[in-house]
A and B are shown apart, each in its own frame.
Chain A
Amino acid sequence: DQQVKQNSPSLSVQEGRISILNCDYTNSMFDYFLWYKKYPAEGPTFLISISSIKDKNEDGRFTVFLNKSAKHLSLHIVPSQPGDSAVYFCAASGTSGTYKYIFGTGTRLKVLA
Chain B
Amino acid sequence: NAGVTQTPKFRILKIGQSMTLQCAQDMNHNYMYWYRQDPGMGLKLIYYSVGAGITDKGEVPNGYNVSRSTTEDFPLRLELAAPSQTSVYFCASSYSPGNVDTEAFFGQGTRLTVV
List residues of chain A with CB under 8 Å of any chain B CB: 6, 9, 32, 34, 36, 41-46, 49, 51, 89, 91, 93-96, 98-106
Chain B 72-115 interface 0/1 with A at a Cβ cutoff of 8 Å (1 = within): 00000000000000000010101011111101111111000000
Q: For the complex, is B21 an interface residue (Cβ under 8 Å from A)?
A: no
A101-B99 in contact (CB<8A): no
B100-A51 in contact (CB<8A): yes
What are 25 sample pairs from A and B whose C-beta atoms fall under 8 A apart?
A6-B42, A32-B97, A34-B103, A36-B106, A41-B108, A42-B109, A43-B106, A43-B107, A44-B43, A49-B103, A51-B100, A89-B43, A95-B97, A95-B98, A96-B98, A99-B48, A100-B31, A100-B48, A101-B92, A101-B97, A103-B35, A103-B44, A104-B42, A105-B41, A106-B43
Task: Choose among A46, A95, A100 the residue with the greatest number of B CB atoms under 10 Å from its CB.
Answer: A100
B100-A46 in contact (CB<8A): no
Which chain B residues numbered 21 to 74 have a C-beta less than 8 Å away from chain A? Answer: 31, 33, 35, 40-45, 48, 50, 58-59
List residues of chain B with CB under 8 Å of any chain A CB: 4, 31, 33, 35, 40-45, 48, 50, 58-59, 90, 92, 94, 96-101, 103-109
Given contacts A93-B97, A99-B50, contact A45 B45 (CB under 8 A): no
